[in-house]
Amino acid sequence: MSRRVLRVCGVGGAAAFAAAVAAPAAAAEPSPPDPVAAAPLSADPAADHLRRGLELMAKGDYAGAKLEFETVLRLDDLPADLHAQAEVYADAARAYLGGSRWLPSGYALVGFGNYHENDTVAGSGDTDDMFFSARVGGRLNYVMTDANALNLSLDYRYRNYDNAGRRDDSDLRWNANFSHGFGDNNLAVGVRGRASYRGNGQTRNDYGVFGTVRFLGDPTDQFNLGVEFRRRNYPQGPLRARSRNILEFTGGWTHTLADGKASFSLAAGGGREFATDNRPDGDSNFFNLSPTFNFTLSEHWGGYVFAWWQTDRYNVERTNSEGADDVLGITTRNDDLWEIGGGLTWEFGRGWSLNPEILYTEDKSNILALNYSSTELHLTLRKDF
């Protein structure tokens, strides 16, 4: 919904009579130009939004600036805190306003942490491993003067554990889309995917098509809607039965707070998983909800907290057992998955930040063996360029 609305009012009969009486004088004295008719349309609506975003940045309204930038730009894999996110957008905006249509950007991260498996009804957690992490990625955006853009991104993540008996994590994610800005809104359609190593020579490939639209309701509120159809494929081996097709609908709302020094977001999604390779639990319906609060403490310090919950309801009955010889019953599987986390960020130089964070995960299921919980502590050094 556009923030700029022009209304045209009607003219009554009395005003028409007065205009007729004044016609001779009007013929002798030219009428001033109509300010609405005389106002030229912007030749570059993308530049208008980016300039407004930079103006808000200069006032310290980081959340409002980010909403304004996002009417034109789509940048994936941003830093965790609000101020740094807005800075990445601002760099791209300055490059565009400086005459560049190609907007490359990238980042690199290294870190270390601890992964601890918690006790659950399924048993005691006996895993407590240190790990090293590395991540690198880049974006390439080509923005046209009519607010159309081509957006590409690539992101690689790696984690190595100090436990020789445990597999390393390796994950490559990609995204290619076309976006179109109209008024205060932005529509994108594209393809995206992910290739993951699952250990013992097993891999998982995700790929699909998606569409999202962002609506800037007013300077402090952004809404978004999306749909995606994707394939999750385990090409071979014992995990192949987990292969499935997924249809998901998403929606979200972001509201700026504290004069743009903070923001609150609420995201929701729901859909269906279609088992294609005889998954024991069959198809499933799911729904998820995720609130996030981003805040700025000072020019160099910020933070964030978030939660994510998803419920899965499967449609095929299975055996619920405590052990090989202890069958508890036969039932359909129901899961509730939780993630709760947060962190701080310290920006200590141009594009440099240090990020300590914590993540708690819990998977609750009526199938005893599927209950799981873990806690991660992670310290990451990030460079954006």
Q: How confident is the model over 18-52, as pLDDT tens digits?
A: 333 333 433 344 444 433 333 344 567 888 899 99
Closest by CA position to 115, among listed 368, 335, 361, 304: 361
Neighbour count for residue 235 (Cβ, 10 Å): 11
Asked if 376 contacts 363 with a C-beta cutoff of 8 angstroms, the reply is no
Measuring CA to CA, which residue among 54, 131, 208 is closest to residue 377? Answer: 131
- SS3 of the chain: the string is CCCCCCCCCCCCHHHHHHHHHCHHHHHHCCCCCCHHHHCCCCCCHHHHHHHHHHHHHHCCCHHHHHHHHCCCCCCCCCCCCHHHHHHHHHHHHHHHHCCCCEEEEEEEEEEEEEEEECCECCECCCCEEEEEEEEEEEEEEEECCCCEEEEEEEEEEEEEECCCCCCCEEEEEEEEEEEEEECCEEEEEEEEEEEEEEECCEEEEEEEEEEEEEEEEECCEEEEEEEEEEEEECCCCCCHHHCEEEEEEEEEEEEEEHHHCEEEEEEEEEEEEEECCCCCCCCEEEEEEEEEEEEECCCCEEEEEEEEEEEEEEEEEEEEEEECCEEEEEEEEEEEEEEEEEEEEEEEECCEEEEEEEEEEEEEECCHHHCEEEEEEEEEEEEEC
Report the amino acid identity of residue 149.
Answer: A
φ and ψ at 28, to 5 degrees? Answer: -80, -30
Provide the sign of the torsion angle of the four alpha carbons 79, 81, 87, 89, taken in this order: positive
**Considering only CA atoms, which of 190, 111, 121, 96 is closest in space to residue 151?**
190
Q: In angstroms, rounded to a whole number, what is the distance separating the alpha carbons of residues 176 and 191?
A: 6
Reported as a single tens digit per residue, the pLDDT across 227-238 is 999 999 999 888
Find out whether 226 and 210 touch, Cβ atoms under 8 Å: yes
Task: Determine the Cα–Cα distance for residues 241 and 234; give it in Å rounded to an integer.
Answer: 8
Give the separation between CA 183 and CA 217, rounded to whole angstroms. 11
Right CATH for 46-384 from 1.10.10.10, 2.60.40.10, 3.50.50.60, 2.40.160.40 = 2.40.160.40
Residue 61: name the closest of 225, 226, 259, 307 by CA: 259
pLDDT in tens, the chain (385 residues): 433 333 333 434 333 333 333 334 333 444 444 333 333 445 678 888 999 999 999 999 999 999 999 999 999 999 999 999 999 999 999 999 999 999 999 999 999 999 999 999 888 878 899 999 999 999 999 998 777 999 999 999 999 999 888 888 999 999 999 999 988 999 999 999 999 998 778 899 999 999 999 999 999 999 999 999 999 999 988 889 999 999 999 999 999 999 999 999 999 999 999 999 989 899 999 999 999 999 999 989 999 999 999 999 999 987 766 554 454 568 899 999 999 999 999 999 989 999 999 999 999 999 888 899 999 999 999 999 9
